[in-house]
Structure 1
Amino acid sequence: MSPVILSAAGAALVLDDPDPQWGLPRVRHFGAALGPVSGAALLPALASPAPPLLPAQGDSWYGRPGLSGGRDGDQWPVRWSLDRLDADTVSGSGGTVTITASDARAGLGLVCELVMDGGGLVRMRHAVTNTAASPYRVDGLVCALPVPGRAAELLDFTGRWALEKVPQRAEFRHGVWSRENRRGRTGHDGTGLLVAGTEGFGFRGGEVWAVHAGWSGDHVHYAERLPEGVSLLAAGELLEPGEVVLGEGESYRTPWVYFTWSGAGLDDAGARLHGHLRARPLPVRPVTLNNWEATYFDHGLDRLLELADRAAAAGIERFVLDDGWFRHRRHDRAGLGDWYVDEGVWPDGLHPLADRVRKLGMQFGLWFEPEMVNPDSDLAREHPDWILGRAERMPPPQRHQQVLDLARPEAYAYLLERLDALVGEYALDYIKWDHNRDIAEPVHAGVAGVHAQTLATYRLLDELRGRHPRLEIESCSSGGARVDFGILARTDRVWTSDSNDALDRQAIQRWTGLLVPPERLGCHVGAPHDHVTGRSLPLAFRAATALFGHMGVEWDLTSASQAELEELATWIALHKRLRPLLHAGRVVRADHPDRSALLHGVVLPERAVYAYVQLTSRTDLVPGPLRLPGLDPDAVYEVRVAGPAPERAALPAWAVPADGAPVRLPGSVLGELGLPAPALRPASALLVELEKV
Structure 2
Amino acid sequence: MSPHRSAVHHPVLAPHPGATHRIHLTAAEVSVVVDVTDGRSPAITHWGAALGPLGDEGLDAVCEAAVDVVVQNAVDVPVRIALLPQAADGWLGRPGLSGAREDGSGWSPRLVTEAIALDGQPLGASHAESGPGLLRFDLADAELGLAVVVELELLPSGLLRQRAALTNTGETPYLLDELTLAVPVPAHADELLDFAGRWVKERTPQRREFTVGTHLRENRRGRTGADSAHVLHAGPSGFGFREGEVWGVHTAFSGNHRHLAEQVNTGRRVLGGGELLLPGELRLAPDEQYTGPWLYASYGNGLDEVASRFHRHLRSRPHHVDARRPVTLNVWEAVYFDHDLARLKDLADRAAAIGVERFVLDDGWFGSRRDDTSGLGDWVVSDEVWPQGLAPLVDHVRGLGMEFGLWFEPEMVNEDSEVARAHPEWIMAPSPDRMPLRSRSQQVLNLTIPEAYAHVRDQMMTVLDSCEIAYIKWDHNRDLLESATRATGRAAVHEQTAATYRLMDELKVAHRGLEIESCSSGGARVDLGVLERTDRVWVSDCIDPLDRQQMNRWTSQLIPLELMGSHIASGRSHTTGRLHTLGFRALSALFGHLGIEWDLARATEAELAELREWIALYKEQRELLFTGDLVRADRGDSVLWLHGVVSPQRDRALFTLACVGRSDQSQHDRLRFPGLDPEARYRVRPLLLGEGPTGMSLPPWWRRAAAQDGVVVPGAVLLRSGLAAPLIDPEQGMLFSLTREGAVSPAAHD
Superposition TM-score, scaled by structure 2 size: 0.91
- For the pair 1:300 / 2:347, whether they are aligned, the reply is no
**Aligned partner of residue 36 in structure 2, secondary structure:** coil
Match of 1:219 in 2: 257
Partner of 2:391: 351
Deviation of the 1:119 alpha carbon: 0.9
In 1, Cα distance between equivalents of 2:392 and 2:640: 47
SS in 1 for 2:616: helix
In structure 1, the partner of 2:729 is 681
Aligned mates of 1:272, 1:630 — CA distance in 2: 15
Gaps of 5+ in 2: 1-19, 69-78, 742-750
Matches of 1:428 and 1:588, distance apart in 2:
36
Deviation at 1:314, TM superposition (A): 1.3
Determine the structure 1 residue equivalent to 2:116.
85
Q: Quote the offset at 1:595 in angstroms.
A: 2.6
User: What pairs with 1:121-132 in structure 2 (closer than 5 Å)?
Assistant: 121-132=159-170
Number of residue pairs the alignment of both structures matches: 690
Distance 1:446 1:345 in 2: 39
Mean CA deviation greater in 82-91 or 590-599: 82-91
Check if 1:60 corresponds to 2:64: no
- Aligned with residue 304 of structure 2, among 251, 267, 270: 267
**Residue deviations 1:556-590 (CA, integer Å, cap 9, x gap):** 01011111111111111111111001111100000
Q: State the SS of the aligned residue for 2:344.
A: helix
Task: Tell me the secondary structure at the aligned position of residue 565 of structure 1.
Answer: helix
Q: Amino acid of the residue matched to residue 98 of structure 2? A: S
- Following superposition, the deviation at residue 2 of structure 1 comes to 4.5
Q: Does 1:512 align with 2:549?
A: no
Q: CA shift at 1:418, angstroms? A: 1.2
Residue 485 of structure 1: SS of its match in structure 2? Answer: coil
Counterpart AA for 2:66: L
Instruction: Report whether the alignment pairs 1:656 with 2:703.
Output: yes
Aligned with residue 608 of structure 1, among 640, 653, 656 = 653
Which residue is equivalent to 2:483?
Answer: 442
Contact conserved, 1:218 with 1:239, CA < 8 A, in 2?
Answer: yes
Shift of 1:327: 1.4
Contact 1:28 1:50 in 2 (8 A): no
Distance of 1:628 and 1:104 partners within structure 2: 58
Shift of 1:660: 2.1
Write the letter of the residue equivalent to 2:281. E
Match of 1:482 among 496, 501, 525: 525
Question: What's the counterpart of residue 27 of structure 1?
Answer: 44
**Residues 144 and 233 of structure 1 are in contact (CA less than 8 Å); yes or no, is this contact kept in structure 2?**
yes
**Correspondence for 2:416:** 376
Do the aligned partners of 1:640 and 1:654 also contact (CA within 8 Å) in 2? no
Q: What is the CA distance between 1:652 and its match in structure 2?
A: 2.5
SS of the counterpart of 1:690? strand
Q: Is the 8 A contact 1:574 1:643 kept in 2?
A: no
Q: Deviations over 1:106-132 (max 9, x none)?
A: 110110000111111011000111011
1:452 match: 495
Q: Does 1:42 align with 2:59?
A: yes
Report what 1:430 is aligned to: 471
The one of 607, 610, 614 equivalent to 1:564 is 607
Provide the C-alpha distance between the structure 1 equivalents of 2:732 and 2:269, rounded to a whole number of angstroms: 43
Residues 430-479 of structure 1: per-residue CA shift (max 9 Å, x gap)? 00000000011011243111000000000000011011120000000000
Distance 1:143 1:423 in 2: 40
What is the one-letter code of the residue matched to 2:702? A
For the pair 1:72 / 2:79, whether they are aligned, the reply is: no
Residue 13 of structure 1, CA deviation: 1.1
Equivalent residue letter for 2:404? F
CA contact (8 A) 1:2 1:40 kept: no
Separation in 2, partners of 1:506, 1:460: 33
**Residue 5 in structure 1 maps to residue 24 in structure 2:** yes
In 1, the alpha carbon distance for the partners of 2:626 and 2:221 equals 32
2: distance between equivalents of 1:505 and 1:395? Answer: 33
Q: CA deviation at 1:593?
A: 3.2
Give me the whole-angstrom Cα distance separating, in 1, the residues matched to 2:104 and 2:576.
57
Q: Residue 26 of structure 1: CA displacement?
A: 1.6
Q: Secondary structure at the match of 1:312?
A: helix
SS state at 2:92 partner: coil
* Mapped partners of 2:701, 2:411: distance in 1: 54
Deviation at 1:655, TM superposition (A): 2.9
Of residues 449, 458, 469 in structure 2, which corresponds to 1:417? 458
Q: Partners in 2 of 1:39 and 1:523 — Cα distance?
A: 50
Deviates more, 1:183-192 or 1:644-653: 644-653
Give the conservation status (yes or no) of the 8 Å contact 2:156–2:313. no
2:352 match = 312
Work out whether 1:620 is the aligned partner of 2:665: yes
**1:594, distance to aligned residue in structure 2 (A):** 4.4
Amino-acid identity (%): 51
For 1:324 and 1:543, locate their aligned partners in 2 and report how far apart those are by CA, in whole Å.
28
2:363 matched residue in structure 1: 323
Alpha-carbon distance between aligned partners in 1 of 2:697 and 2:402, rounded to the nearest angstrom:
39
**Does the aligned pair in 2 maintain the 1:218–1:238 contact within 8 Å?**
yes
Alignment correspondent of 1:18? 37
The CA deviation at 1:40 is 3.3
Q: CA deviation at 1:423?
A: 1.2
Bigger Rg, which one: 2
Q: Relative to 1, partners in 2 of residues 1:585 and 1:297: Cα closer, same or farther, differing over 3 Å?
A: same
428, 432, 436: which one aligns with 1:391: 432
Aligned equivalents of 1:312 and 1:289: distance in 2?
10
Match of 1:443, SS state, is coil
In structure 1, C-alpha distance between the alignment counterparts of 2:184 and 2:361, rounded to whole Å: 47
Cα deviations by residue, 1:275-330 (Å, 9 ceiling, x for unpaired): 12112231221010000011100101111111111111111110000001111111
Following superposition, the deviation at residue 485 of structure 1 comes to: 0.3
Kept in 2: contact 1:405–1:411 (CA 8 A): yes
SS at match of 2:306: helix
Q: Retained in 1: the 8 A contact 2:80–2:91?
A: no
Q: RMSD between aligned alpha carbons?
A: 1.3
Q: Given the alignment, which residue of 682, 685, 694 partners 1:637?
A: 682
Residue 156 of structure 2 aligns to a residue whose secondary structure is coil
Question: CA offsets, 1:172-208, max 9 Å, x none?
Answer: 0011110001000001111111110111100010011
**Equivalent residue, structure 2, for 1:134:** 172
One-letter code of the match for 1:406? L
Instruction: Assess if the C-alpha contact under 8 Å between 1:9 and 1:93 holds in 2.
Output: no
* Deviation digits for residues 618-645 of structure 1 (CA, Å, limit 9, x no counterpart): 2221221110000011111111012413
Query: What is the rounded CA distance, in whole Å, between the counterparts of 1:302 and 1:19 in structure 2?
Result: 75
Aligned twin of 1:149: 187
Q: Whole-Å Cα distance in 2 between the matches of residues 254 and 55 of structure 1?
A: 16
**Which residue type is aligned with residue 680 of structure 1?**
I
Matched residue type, 2:89? D
Match of 2:232 in 1: 194
C-alpha distance in structure 2 between counterparts of 1:345 and 1:74, whole Å: 59
Contact 2:638 2:668 in 1 (8 A): no
Q: What are the residue-to-residue correspondences of 1:78-117 with 2, within 5 Å?
A: 78-88=109-119, 93-117=131-155
- Within the alignment, does 1:670 sit opposite 2:670 as a pair? no
Q: Which runs of 5+ in 1 are unaligned?
A: none
Q: In the alignment, which of 207, 210, 215 is matched to residue 177 of structure 1?
A: 215
User: How far has the Cα of 1:612 moved from its partner?
Assistant: 0.7
2:75 corresponding residue in structure 1: none
Structure 1 distance, partners of 2:118, 2:236, is 31
Q: After TM superposition, give the deviation of residue 75 of structure 1 in Å.
A: 1.3
CA distance in 1, matches of 2:56, 2:413: 57
Specify the SS of the correspondent of 1:357: helix
Say if 1:655 and 1:423 are closer, same or farther in 2 by CA, change over 3 A. Answer: farther
Q: Deviations over 1:673-692 (max 9, x none)?
A: 11111111110111001011
